[in-house]
């Protein structure tokens, strides 16, 4: 009898919490929610535009035709996006947000817990690089390929731990420049990358591109700061072209001749910031 009564009380408490949370979401004007998101991004130097923004039952918001950009233009487009507060964590006083989005034929999904010990995760599946305007906007490059990525971080401000892993199949990079320095156009069967964070230190442990006639490797330090675009970078870009590839793009490699360390091996120091890299 006592156990049944306890279960009944617990059920009523959960129902009351759910009702209160739902009413809070319902009575907050949609414009206020959107304004808060716009303001949060603006403080980081980004803009937010939505073709549609509204509430998602029971505890969330949804949007269509989302564009995130900065002074240079649009950096990311999502056909649809949604974020929902998980109910069960609310019962123990925690806020957990699950979000999803569609980028062309690809998808993204993740989890965010804005507690003192924050956790953030993001998974990208079958996202086409050509559907991400960042590359055209920030670098003027024409890129394509199938991207998959997993990111997971946790910790407190200034002391995060986590990593980002990514892979791209059938990548094509044309018109890529670092600062004013052009890089050779190339097609790559496989691209693999691993970026790890420990505190504020961020290390690009490996980023390799296995191409048709060329092998590329990028490694070094990218501090984990906010905003990430201002992070000062200390990277080394290695280009290892085969003779036929080098001959086909000899003008580009002539411009890079001062970075030739051994026959067929170029090492380019990349400095500046993540938003504005430059080859020294």
State the residue for tokens 């290390």. 203
Q: How far apart are CA 133 and CA 147, in angstroms?
A: 14
Alpha helices in 120-262 (DSSP H): 134, 243-248, 250-255
Q: How far apart are CA 226 and CA 140, in angstroms?
A: 25
User: Side-chain half-sphere of 198: how many Cα atoms within 13 Å?
Assistant: 5
Q: What is the pLDDT of residue 143?
A: 93
Could you tell me if 4 and 70 lie in one domain?
A: yes
Total domains, the chain:
2
Identify whether 114 is part of a domain: no
Q: Does position 271 have pLDDT exceeding 90, yes or no?
A: yes
Other beta carbons within 10 Å of 226 = 12
Q: How far apart are CA 242 and CA 244, in angstroms?
A: 6
Q: Does position 19 have pLDDT exceeding 50, yes or no?
A: no
**pTM, to two decimals:** 0.82
CB distance 98 to 84 below 8 Å: yes
Identify whether 111 is part of a domain: no
Question: pLDDT of 99-111, one tens digit each?
Answer: 999 999 999 999 9
* Residues 6 or more apart whose Cβ sits within 8 Å of residue 67: 47, 48, 49, 50, 74, 76, 77
Average pLDDT, the chain: 85
Q: How far apart are CA 145 and CA 166, in angstroms?
A: 12
Q: Is 137 helix (H, G, I), strand (E, B) or coil?
A: helix
Could you tell me if 225 and 98 lie in one domain?
A: no
Q: How far apart are CA 110 and CA 106, in angstroms?
A: 14
Could you tell me if 266 and 160 lie in one domain?
A: yes
Between residues 30 and 217, which one has the greater pLDDT?
217
Q: Does position 134 have pLDDT exceeding 90, yes or no?
A: no
Could you list the residue range(s) of the whole structural domain that residue 52 is in? 1-103
Could you tell me if 211 and 266 lie in one domain?
A: yes
Q: Does position 5 have pLDDT exceeding 60, yes or no?
A: no
Q: Does position 207 have pLDDT exceeding 90, yes or no?
A: yes
Least confident range from 83-87, 148-152, 248-252: namely: 83-87
Could you tell me if 79 and 191 lie in one domain?
A: no
Q: What is the pLDDT of residue 104?
A: 93
């Amino acid at each position: 009898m006592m156990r049944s009564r306890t279960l009944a009380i617990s059920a009523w408490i959960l129902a009351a919490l759910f009702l209160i949370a739902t009413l809070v979401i319902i009575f907050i004007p949609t414009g206020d929610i959107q304004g808060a998101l716009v303001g949060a991004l603006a403080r980081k130097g980004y803009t937010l535009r939505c073709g549609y923004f509204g509430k998602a039952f029971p505890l969330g918001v949804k949007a269509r035709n989302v564009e995130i950009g900065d002074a240079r233009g649009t950096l990311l487009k999502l056909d649809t996006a949604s974020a929902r507060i998980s109910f069960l964590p609310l019962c123990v006083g925690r806020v957990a947000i699950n979000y999803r989005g569609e980028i062309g034929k690809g998808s993204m999904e993740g989890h965010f817990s804005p507690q003192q010990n924050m956790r953030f995760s993001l998974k990208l599946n079958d996202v086409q690089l050509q559907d991400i305007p960042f590359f055209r906007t920030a670098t003027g490059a024409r890129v394509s390929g199938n991207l998959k990525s997993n990111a997971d971080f946790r910790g407190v401000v200034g002391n995060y731990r986590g990593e980002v892993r990514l892979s791209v199949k059938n990548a094509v990079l044309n018109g890529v420049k670092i600062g004013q320095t052009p890089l050779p156009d190339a097609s790559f069967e496989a691209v693999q990358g691993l970026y790890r964070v420990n505190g504020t230190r961020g290390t690009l442990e490996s980023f390799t591109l296995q191409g048709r006639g060329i092998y590329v490797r990028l490694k070094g330090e990218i501090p984990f700061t906010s905003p990430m675009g201002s992070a000062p970078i200390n990277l080394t870009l290695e280009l290892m072209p085969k003779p036929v590839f080098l001959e086909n793009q000899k003008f580009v490699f002539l411009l890079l001749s001062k970075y030739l360390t051994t026959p067929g091996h170029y090492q380019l120091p990349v400095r500046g910031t993540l938003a504005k890299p430059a080859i020294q």
